[in-house]
C-alpha cells in the first residue's frame, strides 16, 4: 500500500501541475494559476459551505509516487443543518479528489485514508464530490466529478461509493447582443449588491430580482469568470439561481430573466454564457436549449449507500 500523509505546503507545485493536466480535459475549463490554486485549494467556493462545516474535522491526504504527490483527497464534516439538499450535521464529505489515470493504488489509498478519518470523526453518512464543497476555481465552483475524469468515478466505486445525482453544464456563445424580452407591465427590477453565494468580489457579480405587485416573482444571478479564476475577466458569464416563484411560473418570466441576464452580461463584456442544472431538471433544460445553450459536460456526485 502506498504511504498516505497529510498535505504539506511543499506539495502545491506538483498538485497544481497535476490539476492543470487533469482539467485540460474538461471542456472550456478556466486555467488557474499556481498562486490562486495554492491559496484556495483548501478553501470553499461557496459561502454557505464554509459556514456549515466543522473546521476542526477537516483533513487533506496526499499519496506519493516516486517521492511526488500523485493523489489528493480533501475531507470535511458538516457541523450545521444545510439548506442545500437533505444533509444533516454529522455528514462526512470527501470534498475533492485529484489523481491521474494510472494512479489507482495511490488514489484508493487516499480515498481510504479520507474514509478512515471520517469514520473516526463520527460521520454517519458519507458523500463524495458534492457540488458545493470544492474550491472556487474548479469548474465555476462545482466540485462534482466531470465526465472527463471517469477513472476517479471508478475508483470511488471500488471504495464503496455509488453515483448519486448528476448535473449538466451548458454553454452558449454570444455573437451579437441578445434581444431582451418584454417584462410584464408594472413589474420592477431590483438589483442586489454583493450578495453573492460564491466567494468573490461584488464587481464580478450581478444579481437581480423581479417584483410584481410587490411580490418577489423571479430572480437571476450572474457571476463573471473572474469571480472564479483570477485573470478570467468578464469574457464569460456563469448564470446561477434562476428561479420563478411558483404562482408566477408558465408565463415566460424565466425566459425573460435569463435573456436579460445575457444582455446584462454582454454589456459588461461577456461573449460566452454558461450554466449548470440538475440532470433531472428537464423543464429548465428545455428553456436553456431553446435559448441557444448546448450541453458540454455531465458531472456526478457520490454517496455510500446504507
Ligand X SMILES: CC(C)(COP(=O)(O)OP(=O)(O)OC[C@H]1O[C@@H](n2cnc3c(N)ncnc32)[C@H](O)[C@@H]1OP(=O)(O)O)[C@@H](O)C(=O)NCCC(=O)NCCS
Report if residue 290 touches ligand X, rule: CB under 6 A: yes
Integer Cα distance of 140 and 225 in angstroms: 8
Q: Based on CB atoms, which residue is closest to ligand X, 135 or 243? A: 243
Closest separation in Å from C-beta 147 to ligand X? 19
Spell 153-170 as b/e; 16+ CB within 10 A means b: bebbeebebeebbebbbb
Integer Cα distance of 196 and 49 in angstroms: 13
Q: Based on CB atoms, which residue is closest to ligand X, 93 or 168? A: 168
Match 439538499 to its residue by C-alpha cell: 85
Size of the site for ligand X (CB under 6 A): 17
Integer Cα distance of 25 and 175 in angstroms: 25
Binding mask 68-107 for ligand X (x = CB under 6 A): ----------------------------------------
Q: Based on CB atoms, which residue is closest to ligand X, 152 or 256? A: 256
Q: Based on CB atoms, which residue is closest to ligand X, 74 or 242? A: 242
Q: What is the DSSP letter of 247?
A: G
Q: Based on CB atoms, which residue is closest to ligand X, 136 or 212? A: 212
Closest separation in Å from C-beta 142 to ligand X? 12
Pairing of strands 145-146, 162-173: unpaired
Closest separation in Å from C-beta 195 to ligand X? 18
**Alpha-carbon separation of residue 139 from 145, 237, 260, 298 (angstroms):** 10, 13, 24, 12
Report if residue 60 touches ligand X, rule: CB under 6 A: no
Residues from 221 through 280 that contact ligand X (CB under 6 A): 242-244, 249-255, 277
Match 457571476 to its residue by C-alpha cell: 223
Q: Based on CB atoms, which residue is closest to ligand X, 9 or 182? A: 182
3-state secondary structure of 31: coil
Name which position in 119, 158, 280, 286 contacts ligand X (CB under 6 A): 286
Closest separation in Å from C-beta 267 to ligand X? 22
3-state secondary structure of 237: strand
Beta bridge pairs of residue 294: 171
Q: Based on CB atoms, which residue is closest to ligand X, 148 or 287? A: 287
Report if residue 281 touches ligand X, rule: CB under 6 A: yes
Closest separation in Å from C-beta 223 to ligand X? 14
Closest separation in Å from C-beta 256 to ligand X? 7
Closest separation in Å from C-beta 238 to ligand X? 11
Pairing of strands 205-212, 236-244: unpaired
Closest separation in Å from C-beta 273 to ligand X? 13
Cβ atoms of 126 and 115 within 8 Å: the answer is yes
Q: Based on CB atoms, which residue is closest to ligand X, 36 or 281? A: 281
Beta bridge pairs of residue 60: 74
Dihedrals phi, psi of 264, to nearest 5 degrees: -60, -40
Beta bridge pairs of residue 82: 87
Site residues for ligand X per CB under 6 A: 242-244, 249-255, 277, 281, 283-284, 286-287, 290
Amino acid at each position: 500500500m502506498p504511504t498516505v500523509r497529510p498535505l504539506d505546503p511543499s506539495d502545491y507545485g506538483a498538485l497544481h501541475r497535476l490539476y492543470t493536466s487533469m482539467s485540460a480535459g474538461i471542456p472550456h475549463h478556466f486555467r488557474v494559476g499556481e498562486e490562486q490554486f495554492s491559496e484556495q485549494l483548501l478553501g470553499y467556493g461557496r459561502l454557505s459551505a464554509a459556514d456549515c462545516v466543522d473546521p476542526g474535522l477537516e483533513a487533506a491526504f496526499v499519496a506519493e509516487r516516486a517521492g511526488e504527490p500523485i493523489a489528493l483527497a480533501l475531507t470535511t464534516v458538516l457541523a450545521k443543518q444545510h439548506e442545500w439538499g437533505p444533509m444533516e450535521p454529522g455528514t462526512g464529505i470527501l470534498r475533492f479528489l485529484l489523481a491521474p489515470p494510472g494512479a489507482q493504488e495511490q488514489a484508493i489509498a487516499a480515498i481510504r485514508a479520507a474514509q478512515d478519518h471520517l469514520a473516526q470523526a463520527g460521520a454517519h453518512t458519507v458523500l463524495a464530490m458534492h457540488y458545493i464543497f470544492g474550491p472556487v476555481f474548479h469548474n465555476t465552483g462545482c466540485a462534482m466529478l466531470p465526465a472527463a475524469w471517469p477513472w476517479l468515478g471508478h475508483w470511488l466505486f471500488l471504495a464503496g461509493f455509488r453515483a448519486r445525482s448528476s448535473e449538466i453544464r451548458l454553454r452558449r456563445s454570444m455573437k451579437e447582443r441578445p434581444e431582451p424580452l418584454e417584462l410584464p407591465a408594472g413589474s420592477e427590477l431590483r438589483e442586489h449588491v454583493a450578495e453573492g453565494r460564491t466567494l468573490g468580489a461584488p464587481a464580478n457579480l450581478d444579481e437581480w430580482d423581479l417584483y410584481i405587485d410587490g411580490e418577489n416573482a423571479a430572480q437571476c444571478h450572474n457571476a463573471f469568470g473572474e469571480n472564479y479564476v483570477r485573470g478570467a475577466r468578464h469574457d464569460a458569464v456563469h448564470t446561477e439561481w434562476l428561479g420563478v416563484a411558483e404562482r408566477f411560473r408558465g408565463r415566460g418570466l424565466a425566459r425573460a430573466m435569463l435573456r436579460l441576464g445575457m444582455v446584462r452580461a454582454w454589456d459588461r463584456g461577456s461573449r460566452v454564457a454558461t450554466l449548470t442544472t440538475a440532470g433531472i431538471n428537464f423543464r429548465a433544460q428545455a428553456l436553456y436549449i431553446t435559448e441557444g445553450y448546448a450541453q458540454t459536460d455531465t458531472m456526478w456526485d457520490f454517496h455510500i449507500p446504507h
